[in-house]
Amino acid sequence: MGKSKELPGKEKAGKGAATSSRSNKRPRTESGSRQPQGPCPDWPKNKKLLDFPEMWREQLYRNKVAELKHERKLIVAEKTGSASDFKHYGVVECFERLGWLNAFTLEKFDQKQIYLDEIITWMATLRKVPGEKPPTTTKLIGTVGETEIELSFNALDKIADFDTGAINPKRPYEYLSTEVIACNDDKYKGDMWVEMLRELFDVPPSRLSIKMTLDRSDLRPLPKLLSSLTCCNILPRTSDRSQIRNCDVRVLHALCTGFPTMSFKQLVLHNIWEARISGDRKTIPHFKLITALLVNAGVITETSKGYKPGVTPFSRDHIRDTEFRFIKSKFVYILEDYKGKRTYEVPREDQSEGEEDDESETENDEDVEEREYDRLERGGDEEMQVERPPTWGNWTSYEREMYVQQATEIAAAAKWRAVQENSLKT
């Protein structure tokens, strides 16, 4: 592979081109070898953009975008997460565990305006340079005007502190293959797939299998709440959010457990490149992040037309009355899933004597216990006397039901034996 195979602009820019986000002019085609001739071919949804000659790729991408009645439907803008709203309910801990906190809060890149024309131009001209050790050396390079703009691990570091380090325990990041991230085939699910499903979904053991239908309604409360944010900030999409995709499983498991230690920066490059080359994806992910990249490159000027993204923040005020309830009791914080009739409990570490709780967010422990049994439709005096183990709040409804049933039967048998013994004594 000689120098003739190198991407255009690299030789002119010299060694500094690999690290600079801006360089010299380049032709509109990716190879720069020839201009399009003849009619533009059609792009079937089942084909990748890379299946077509380079000279057609920019036009094919623009044609795909033009099929939308409104270009704003391309936008999948990130939600700004409120750390103070969720710090007691396990959400912030999930992002801190992977070193992804800035992907949650959008600190330093929560753009108030996004620039659709420039982003479409950048995406239409995008090309991928893997480098020596992908994905850490991978670059996505697009052109706006006469400026080449590079998205890479280094470029992301200049926007915000992403991938700050996996903690509890501290460990390096795992860089998964594109096939494993997308997980479009069962062979890429891996040996731990069913165990990951067990951690995330509240279903009877008999349903757990590699072929299991992944309904969002079956998720446990914490991963279900996280999925409302990951579909905007981590694995962005707009369609069919009632279903969990295979690629969602690994990300949700990583957030909830810390394994695998996935790289957010790798996911960003993966998402943007797949949106560029996939025939059936008519959205652009990470809009705010790309906007920050273009602003840093100096291609957003006074004449650039900006739009307000119109995205509601990820805060308790915007989800309280829909799916979840956030409760502070005497000893635990409780995340209650209204529709799924499930709870997730986090022990309180901020108790203080004489503390006055906010009545709108607080229930006493007796009310919580009564509500849980009513919700699970397990009335009866004997069942109400069953002592719950410390890990009760993190069990599935199926595990709780089996525990209560067995404990009730044992208690009834003990009561019967006591009655029999008393009758013999008399």
pTM: 0.77
Whether residues 333 and 206 share a domain: the answer is: no
Whether residues 277 and 364 share a domain: the answer is: no
Whether residues 53 and 121 share a domain: the answer is: yes
Whether residues 353 and 389 share a domain: the answer is: no
Whether residues 360 and 384 share a domain: the answer is: no
Whether residues 343 and 237 share a domain: the answer is: no
Is residue 237 situated within a structural domain? yes
Range(s) of the domain holding residue 235: 18-297
Whether residues 135 and 47 share a domain: the answer is: yes
Whether residues 200 and 223 share a domain: the answer is: yes
Per-residue pLDDT in tens (0 to 9) along the chain, 426 residues: 443 333 333 333 333 333 333 333 344 455 444 566 678 999 998 999 999 999 999 999 999 999 988 888 888 889 999 999 999 999 999 999 999 999 999 988 888 889 999 999 999 999 999 999 999 999 999 999 999 999 999 999 999 999 999 998 899 999 999 999 999 999 999 889 999 999 999 999 999 999 999 999 999 999 999 999 999 999 998 877 788 999 999 999 999 999 999 999 999 999 999 999 999 889 999 999 999 999 999 999 999 999 888 888 999 988 866 789 999 988 899 999 987 789 999 988 876 655 555 444 555 555 544 444 444 433 333 334 467 676 666 666 666 667 777 777 777 777 767 766 776 666
Is residue 308 situated within a structural domain? no
Total domains present in the chain: 3
Whether residues 293 and 416 share a domain: the answer is: no
Is residue 7 situated within a structural domain? no
In SS3 terms, the chain reads as CCHHHCCCCHHHHCHHHHCCCCCCCCCCCCCCCCCCCCCCCCCCCCCEHHHCCHHHHHHHHHHHHHCCCCHHHHECCCCCECHHHHCCCCHHHHHHHHCCHHHHHCCCCCCCCECHHHHHHHHHCCEEECCCCCCCCCEEEEEECCEEEEEEHHHHHHHCCCCCCECCCCECCECCCHHHHHCCCHHHCCCCHHHHHHHHECCCHHHCCCCCCCEHHHECHHHHHHHHHHHHHCCCCCCCCCECCHHHHHHHHHHHHCCCCECHHHHHHHHHHHHHHECCCCCECCHHHHHHHHHHHCCCCCCCCCECCCCCCECHHHHCCCCEEEEECCCEEEEEECCCCEEEEEECCCCCCCCCCCHHHCCCHHHHHHHHHHHCCCCCHHHHCCCCCCCHHHCCHHHHHHHHHHHHHHHHHHHHHHHHHHHHHC
Is residue 314 situated within a structural domain? no
Whether residues 386 and 341 share a domain: the answer is: no
Whether residues 37 and 104 share a domain: the answer is: yes
Whether residues 153 and 49 share a domain: the answer is: yes
Is residue 117 situated within a structural domain? yes
Is residue 2 situated within a structural domain? no
